[in-house]
Amino acid sequence: MDLLLIGGLSGSGKSVALAALEDSGYDAVSNLPVSQLAGLIEHLKTARVDRVAVVLDLKTGPGLPGLAAAMESARAQGWTVRYLHLDAKTDTLVKRFSETRRRHPFSDGQRTLTEAIEFERGLVADARSLGYTFDTSDLAAAALRAWIKDFISVDPSKLTLLFQSFGYKQGIPLDADLVFDVRCLPNPHYEPALAAQNGRDLAVIAYLGKLPEVERMYGDIYHFVASWLPDYARDNRNYLTVAIGCTGGQHRSVYLSERLAKAFGSRYQVLVRHRELT
């Protein structure tokens, strides 16, 4: 029995995530107050469902203590419980609310939109520790749906190693646990024949694969992650996100993320995300 709880910031994509889960066979519940979660779990004892996704309303009591207690209660009853915390940069959220002309739930006439976003961020911040944080900044809805489906495809009882490429032009991902800066490596963008390609294309792979400094960077990242991964696993983590950034997130970071994912894939559950590739 799989119970997937979704929380986080208003405008961060919770509705999109819930729709993707519903499309994947989950029974969906939207905007459930945390205070009613225990009652829902009791109801599910007699309901003939085995996959349930719930978007939580974290703005009302009992907040984090109540959520943690309800999750432990569900686990005690045999449910596999995961918490997914959706986050996004403030400027991204401002843009989304401005485009949709929706009123932010904490825009009470005394707060600006930015102030309302930051106020809510403070209210829900502690819930991040209960599960996996997902940065939806600058993501198209289709990409978020794809990432959600990747998320539910892995065994939640095992540590999942996620390699994410990104471009520093768009900022560091909010959900990164480890960040490696590879901007010091030669950039294929300045090779006319390679500029329009990305790090998954054979020509770019061949170009970067023959450079000694790229090989050295790959080796350093590989050995660092391999050395510390057992310690992260002992810390009861379910996910470890390794973010690798170059200037535009198209060539070097993509190449290294793909290569590292293949290297670790034989021993761990591995996912790959490329934030800047469409």
Domain residue ranges of the chain, discontinuous segments joined by +: 2-153, 161-274
Residues of the chain with pLDDT under 70: 60-63, 278
pLDDT tens-place string over residues 69-127: 889 888 888 889 999 999 999 999 999 998 888 889 888 778 899 999 999 998 888 88
| Cis bond upstream, residue 192 (ω within 30) | no
Q: Which of 32, 145, 135, 140 is nearest to 90 (CA)?
A: 135
Full-model pTM:
0.82
Burial group, residue 190, by CB count within 10 angstroms (0-12, 13-18, 19+): exposed
* Neighbouring C-beta atoms of residue 105, cutoff 10 Å: 13
Closest CA to 85 of 259, 256, 263, 241: 241
- The CATH class, in words, for 2-153 is alpha beta
**Among candidates 2, 30, 4, which has minimal Cα distance to 16?**
30
- Residue 42 pLDDT: 85
3: part of which helix (H) or strand (E)? strand 2-8
Closest CA to 246 of 174, 180, 176: 180
What is d(CA 197, CA 189) in angstroms, rounded to the nearest whole number?
A: 8
Tokens of 104: 């932010």
Within 139-251, strands assigned E span 160-167, 178-181, 239-246
CA torsion angle 255 132 265 227 (round to 10): 90
**Pairwise CA distance, residues 198 & 110, whole Å:** 47
57 strand-pairing partners: 33
CA triplet 262, 204, 277: central angle to 5 degrees? Answer: 70
* pLDDT given at position 216: 98
Cβ atoms < 10 Å from Cβ of 173: 23
N-to-C CA span, the chain: 34
Tell me how far apart the alpha carbons of residues 158 and 175 are, in angstroms, rounded to a whole number: 19
For the chain, give the percent of residues with pLDDT over 90. Answer: 61
Please tell me the predicted confidence (pLDDT) of residue 250. Answer: 97
